[in-house]
């Protein structure tokens, strides 16, 4: 949110109260408390009528500093909060002297100056990382249409050449400098500023990251309102954030996920090829079996078959009941599929249509999100008269997961947990939580409920969802996919940008719809996307109005699909090692180049190539003619296909056929193959 009108002026209706300087510093056990009025206090009279900001510095773990800025502290505590893990026995070093105060946590320190100005600086191993100074920390009153709104905002400086990344799965420019980003989950597709997965965490190429600990909307101005600062603001009287030091970007992500949660390890079968019915296509058991048998007949290895929405009857989503008109013997069908060694996934969402037989039961028992007057919130935006399951109600969770449990007993192995973004804010939840703060975190509760059911029924290490919506902590419940993208090369590139940004927020596992979701891919696009899709952590053939079996595209697509599916299967030991690292440290399988090469300035802006695990460089082809330009970072490289050796540190432009793309092995690394 922008508060200023250029550099000098504030916007109409904005009354700023900036921290002007430090009037007092207190050391309290593990906490450094700083008091900062909105004016310079030189006499006793200056202290009268002056708003006072209280800034508390502490440390939840080594190399992490928590900053809490508050104005009024007597308000009702608003819930929910993110689930965080802090180390209770960790104690930072605090010192106070005539010049100011320092709180030191491992190699990270913050120095608060005593001066007639506001300036606090964060250092990593003695090197300046970032700072806030004049007009950075503030309590802002905003008059909008005769309504007074209150915000707390902070600004942190950016150095020359500093790039900002992350903030969830964002499909726009990979480097976020110059952008305004609102952390607010939305079902906006993959071609706009909106995102399904919003995370108030960014990381920079200067060795640190910043996590804003607020479950409500957080508004970021990234070198936009002020070109040399990142500003973030929240509504209310309190702002809390964490500065997380690496110094390497991998270490930043490792510490961020130590705080917010690490991804579970998906079972090995999830890394194979997934095939879907697609969304609005016409299909029945005969269609399904023809797809599965067709893959076998063409020698294309298949791991998972997915039933999308219309496994249930239209207008009934969700009733969790197979549509008898097209699936008269679901138990027998699932058994026949599983006899072929195929796992089964079915589509679900957290909404219950009015026509569903479950609607009356959920309404009577209070299992749905309600309007303030006690009536059930309903909408026609998706399924007619649908209600939203209230996952803050433990009885509703038991009811919902009990319905899913029956599907697991039938033979279903996992669920595609679609939707969860369009959560209204004018409603009441069972737990009394603030609906503004529940909007984003609803996705966390939804996926948590389903994932934990799978762990109970299938066992630890055997759970997997295919989720679209997420926020902080959602990485604990893999896998996530990129949502509804178009069937174009441009959409293929934006999809990759989304995956790279999400990975930098600790989401270790990620997938996307090969060929795009909206529209029907032409053969050139489909074959290029096959290579990209099968060199991602998880790989799925899925679309909207067209079947995505490769022979439905053209004959060569069959060959390309078989080639890259077999390639992925051959490097499964390597992929499982990378998956283990994602599980243990939070470092994603699909990695932005700067994550592996933070000291190579050429990698800072690269968003059309990536590292798959630590040692495989992948550069998808985004042109129909097979031409691709990519960068090999400094060092020694070996071509995966030809064993050609090359030094790095320069760009290459090549033309590839459909069974090839730039795929390089780093240095003397050994990529184990089977």
Q: Where are the domains of the chain?
A: 4-260, 269-349+394-424+432-585, 590-666
Half-sphere exposure of 244 (CA within 13 A, CB side): 28
pLDDT of 673 higher than 90: no
For residue 210, list its beta bridge partners: 202, 243
Measured between alpha carbons, how far is 431 from 302 in angstroms, rounded to an integer?
A: 43
Q: Is pLDDT of 76 > 90?
A: no
**Number of other CB atoms surrounding residue 555 within 10 Å:** 9
pLDDT tens track for 315-355: 999 999 999 999 999 999 999 999 999 999 999 999 999 99
As a whole number of angstroms, the distance between CA 110 and CA 348 comes to 47
Q: Which of 96-105, 532-541, 664-673 has the lowest mean pLDDT?
A: 664-673
SS (H, E, C) 262-290: CCCCCCHHHHCEEEECCCCCCCCHHHHHH
Reference 241, options 233, 229, 250; nearest CA is 233
| Residues 86/74, Cβ–Cβ less than 8 Å | no
Distance between CA atoms of 270 and 70, rounded to whole angstroms? 46
Measure the CA–CA gap between 338 and 651, rounded to whole angstroms. Answer: 47
How far apart are alpha carbons 246 and 208 in whole angstroms?
Answer: 6
Q: pLDDT-derived band of residue 78, with 50, 70 and 90 as boundaries? A: confident
CATH 3.90.1300.10 fits 4-260, yes or no: no
> Which residues are part of the catalytic machinery?
418, 421, 484
Are both 4-260 and 590-666 of the same fold? yes
Question: CA 216, CA 199: separation in Å to the nearest integer?
Answer: 11
Mean pLDDT of 621-641: 97
Q: Would the pLDDT of 57 be above 90?
A: yes
Strand pairing class (198-204; 343-348): unpaired
CATH superfamily of 269-349+394-424+432-585: Glycosidases (3.20.20.80)
The pLDDT score that the predictor gives to residue 146 is 83
How large is the average pLDDT for residues 623-640? 97
Report whether pLDDT(79) > 90.
Answer: no
CATH topology assigned to domain 590-666: Immunoglobulin-like (2.60.40)
Tokens standing for 488?
Answer: 């174009």
Is pLDDT at 2 greater than 90 in this prediction? yes
Confidence grade of residue 405 (pLDDT, cut at 50, 70, 90) = very high
**153 pLDDT exceeds 90?**
yes
Beta strands at 218-222 and 414-417: parallel, antiparallel or unpaired: unpaired
Strand partners, 66: 58, 242
What are 176-229's pLDDT values in tens digits? 999 999 999 999 999 999 999 999 999 999 999 999 999 999 999 999 999 999
CA atoms within 13 A on the CB side of 427: 24
Mean pLDDT of the chain: 97
Q: What is the pLDDT of residue 145?
A: 83
Largest interatomic CA distance in the chain? 87
Name residues whose C-beta falls within 8 Å of residue 122's C-beta, 6 or more positions apart in sequence.
65, 108, 109, 110, 128, 129, 130, 131, 208, 243, 245
Per-residue pLDDT band for 501 (boundaries 50, 70, 90) equals very high
- The model's pLDDT over 429-446, given as tens digits with 9 standing for 90+, comes to 999 999 999 999 999 999
What is the pTM for the complete model shown?
0.97
Has residue 77 got a pLDDT over 90? no
**Beta-sheet pairing, 539-541 with 590-591:** unpaired
Q: Tell me the two tokens of residue 667.
A: 């240095």
Percentage, residues of the chain above pLDDT 70: 100
Mean pLDDT value across residues 494-506: 98
Q: What is the pLDDT of residues 234-266, one digit of tens each?
A: 999 999 999 999 999 999 999 999 999 999 999
Which of 453, 457, 552, 443 shows the shortest CA–CA distance to 507?
443
Q: Phi and psi of 123, rounded to 5°?
A: -125, 140
pLDDT digits (tens, 9 = 90+) for 24-36: 999 999 999 999 9
- 507/494 Cα distance (integer angstroms): 17
């Amino acid at each position: 949110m922008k508060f200023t009108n250029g550099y000098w002026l504030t916007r109409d209706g904005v009354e700023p109260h900036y921290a002007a300087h430090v009037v007092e510093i207190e050391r309290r056990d593990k906490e450094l408390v700083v008091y900062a009025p909105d004016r310079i206090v030189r006499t006793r009279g200056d202290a009268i009528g002056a708003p006072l900001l209280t800034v508390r510095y502490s440390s939840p773990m080594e190399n992490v500093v928590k900053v809490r800025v508050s104005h009024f502290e007597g308000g009702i505590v608003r819930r929910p909060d993110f689930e965080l893990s802090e180390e209770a026995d960790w104690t930072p070093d605090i010192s106070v002297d005539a010049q100011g105060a320092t709180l030191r946590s491992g190699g990270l320190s913050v120095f608060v100056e005593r001066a007639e100005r506001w300036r606090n600086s964060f250092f990593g191993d003695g090197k300046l990382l970032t700072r806030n100074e004049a007009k950075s920390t503030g309590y802002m009153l905003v008059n909008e249409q005769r309504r007074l709104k209150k915000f707390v905002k902070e600004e942190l400086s950016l150095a020359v050449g500093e790039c900002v990344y992350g903030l969830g799965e964002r499909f726009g420019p990979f480097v976020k400098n110059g952008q305004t980003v609102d952390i607010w989950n939305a079902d906006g597709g993959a071609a706009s500023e909106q995102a399904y997965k919003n995370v108030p965490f960014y990381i920079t190429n200067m060795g640190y990251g910043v996590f804003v600990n607020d479950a409500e909307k957080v508004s970021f101005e990234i070198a936009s309102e002020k070109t040399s600062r990142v500003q973030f603001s929240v509504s209310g009287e309190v702002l809390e954030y964490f500065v997380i030091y690496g110094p390497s970007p991998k270490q930043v992500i490792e510490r961020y996920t130590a705080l917010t949660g690490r991804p579970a390890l998906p079972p090995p079968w999830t890394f194979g090829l997934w095939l879907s019915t697609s969304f609005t296509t016409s299909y029945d058991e005969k269609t399904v079996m023809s797809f599965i048998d067709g893959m076998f007949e063409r020698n294309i290895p298949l791991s998972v078959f997915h039933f999308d929405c219309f496994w249930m009857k239209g207008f009934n989503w969700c009733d969790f009941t197979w549509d008898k008109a097209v699936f008269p013997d679901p138990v027998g069908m699932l058994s026949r599929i599983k006899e072929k060694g195929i796992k089964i996934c079915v589509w679900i969402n957290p909404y219950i249509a009015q026509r569903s037989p479950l609607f009356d039961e959920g309404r009577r028992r209070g299992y749905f999100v309600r309007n303030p007057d006690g009536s059930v919130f309903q909408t026609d935006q998706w399924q007619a008269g649908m209600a939203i399951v209230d996952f803050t109600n433990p009885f509703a969770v038991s009811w919902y997961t009990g319905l899913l449990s029956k599907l697991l007993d039938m033979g279903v192995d996992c669920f595609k947990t679609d939707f969860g973004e369009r959560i209204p804010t004018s409603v009441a939840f069972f737990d009394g939580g603030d609906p503004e703060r529940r909007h984003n975190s609803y996705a966390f509760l939804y996926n948590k409920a389903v994932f934990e059911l799978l762990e109970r029924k299938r066992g630890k290490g055997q759970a997997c969802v295919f989720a679209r919506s997420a926020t902080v902590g959602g990485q604990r419940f893999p896998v996530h996919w990129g949502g509804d993208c178009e069937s174009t090369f441009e959409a293929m590139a934006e999809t990759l940008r989304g995956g790279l940004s999400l990975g930098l927020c600790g989401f270790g596992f990620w997938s996307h719809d090969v060929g795009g979701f909206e529209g029907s891919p032409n053969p050139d696009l489909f074959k290029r996307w096959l290579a990209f899709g099968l060199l991602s952590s998880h790989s799925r053939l899925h679309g909207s109005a067209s079947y995505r079996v490769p022979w439905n595209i053209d004959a060569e697509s069959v060959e390309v699909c078989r080639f890259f599916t077999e390639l992925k299967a051959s490097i499964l030991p390597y992929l499982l090692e990378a998956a283990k690292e994602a599980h243990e440290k939070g470092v994603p399988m699909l990695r932005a180049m700067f994550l592996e090469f933070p000291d190579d300035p050429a990698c800072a802006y690269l968003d059309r190539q990536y590292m798959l695990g630590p040692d495989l460089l992948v550069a998808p082809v985004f042109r129909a003619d097979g031409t691709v330009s990519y960068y090999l970072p400094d060092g020694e490289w070996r071509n995966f296909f030809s064993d050609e050796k090359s030094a790095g540190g320069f760009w290459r432009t090549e033309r590839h056929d459909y069974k090839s793309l730039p795929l390089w092995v780093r240095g003397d690394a050994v990529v184990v193959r089977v």
